[in-house]
Amino acid sequence: MSNLKISKEIYNLDTSELGDNLLYYSYHTRHLLSLIKQNVDKESPNYISAYNGFKGELFENIIGELLLKYAMSNPYITKFVLKGPHQNYKSSQNDKFGLLMDKNRQIVYKAGYKDISEYDAMFFTEDSIYFVESTIVVSTIGLRKRLRKKVALLSLLFPHLKVKALIILSEGATGLNRFPSYCTVWVTKPLDATEILDKLALGTKYKKQKFIQYKSDKFVHSHKIKVDYFKYFDTLGWIFRKSFKYKTKELNSEFFLSKKINRYFDIFSKIYIGFTSKKILEQLLSQYDFDISILEKDFVNDYVFVTIDKKDDDTFYLVYYAKEISGGLKKFDINNDRVKISTKDPKGFTVAETRFISHIIKPYNKLSYANLMDIKQIVEKW
């Protein structure tokens, strides 16, 4: 029998006892409020997209507020992590590692000031840590994919606790029976965001009620929670150096197939193993229907980074990241007899990772075409 049963208040998304607490959270509503002022048609795609974005943020905040009250009365929950306006943000904003608040006062794990993973809410029981994912999206495929990284990271941070998840969805969501066994799934009634949006649209014309601060011995600030630190970039560098046996080009398969490294794959999604040249990337791409002339004029000669990526079906393949002369970074996914190119976010993980790897590579990390063909055959058999 589950110790976590959805309450009537959460099922109904009952905000009647929350006062104006929901107005104290930050929302990305500038565009939406601008559309409202312009009296844009509410059936237009532009308005619907902006409104649904706000609705998703509001749903998460309503769940957070109601879970606070739920935790106070549920004896199974021993600690509940505060966030948003309930959290003391200033005391942790300069910390480099740990469970902390980001600038939007969301719960994140930071490593070297870099946000590694975000959690909608978090609480503890006697033997477990639960992270909460709440969303109004209908398809849960993306959510299920993200769970792997979150579980793998928490299992490193809290090695002596079981890692579990509370998934809170809105009516109409699909794939409810496809979540892993560590998940408890709740489904709420649909959310009507009109009332809160109307108050936000009034701006300073609406006088907010005083913020309700709940008090309980169970409540804890994220930066007070002790974790086994996970150093993101140090670990990435360690795996990079161990990729091959004794500085040879013999891939260290036993190392990559170990349980420990498999967990790291879930966190990183890709592992860097070396670099190659633009000329060799052109050679690889020439086997496909692809215009290689763009490489000749737009990309740096060396430092095409080579990674082993793990797919959702637990298979592995090689992916290449090439530096542009302009400073950008392109991903070349050469898989299943086709080439897929995508631009990496200049503020994202991959750019930060390749910048880090570029500082630790040695001449013997360079991979030839023959090396890459041998490695490709090996990883595809894992």
Give the pLDDT confidence of 255-282 residue by residue, as tens digits.
998 888 888 998 888 999 999 988 898 8
CA distance 275 to 322: 10
Select from 183, 185, 217 the least CA-distant residue to 10: 185
CA distance 52 to 3: 32
Residue-level pLDDT at 3:
83
SS3 at position 193: coil
Radius of gyration from C-alpha coordinates of the chain: 24
Lowest mean pLDDT among 32-41, 69-78, 333-342: 333-342
Whether residue 289 contacts residue 337, with contact meaning beta carbons closer than 8 Å, is answered with no
CA distance 25 to 62: 10
CA distance 51 to 42: 9
- Top pLDDT among 183 and 363 is at 183
Going by C-beta distance under 8 Å and a sequence separation of 6 or more, which residues neighbour residue 231? 97, 111, 112
Residue-level pLDDT at 178:
93
Q: Is the C-alpha dihedral spanning 339, 345, 350, 352 positive or negative?
A: positive
Token digits of residue 74: 């549920």
Residue-level pLDDT at 184:
96
Residue-level pLDDT at 94:
59
The overall pTM is greater than 0.95: no
Residue-level pLDDT at 1:
47
Give the Å distances, CA to CA, from 274 to 128, 142, 343: 38, 30, 20
User: pLDDT tier at 170 (50, 70, 90 boundaries)?
Assistant: very high
Residue-level pLDDT at 312:
75
Report, as an integer, the average pLDDT of 297-320.
Answer: 83
Q: What rounded mean pLDDT belongs to the chain?
A: 89
194-218 pLDDT, tens digit per residue, is 999 999 998 889 999 999 999 999 9
Residue-level pLDDT at 295:
67
User: pLDDT tier at 72 (50, 70, 90 boundaries)?
Assistant: very high
How far from the centroid of its chain's Cα atoms is residue 122's Cα?
Answer: 15
Residue-level pLDDT at 229:
81
88-144 pLDDT, tens digit per residue, is 766 555 577 778 877 778 888 888 767 888 899 999 999 999 999 999 999 999 899
User: pLDDT tier at 55 (50, 70, 90 boundaries)?
Assistant: very high
Domain ranges of the chain: 8-224, 232-379
Residue keyed to tokens 């890692």: 163
Query: φ, ψ for residue 121 (rounded to 5)?
Result: -165, 165
Residue-level pLDDT at 93:
57
The amino acid present at 113, given as its one-letter code, is Y
Q: What is the 3-state secondary structure (H, E, C) of 198-267?
A: HHHHHHHHCCCCCCCCCCCCCEECHHHCCCCCCCHHHHHHHHHHCCEHHHCCCECHHHHCCHHHHHHHHH
SS3 at position 187: strand
Lowest mean pLDDT among 3-7, 168-172, 173-177, 347-351: 347-351
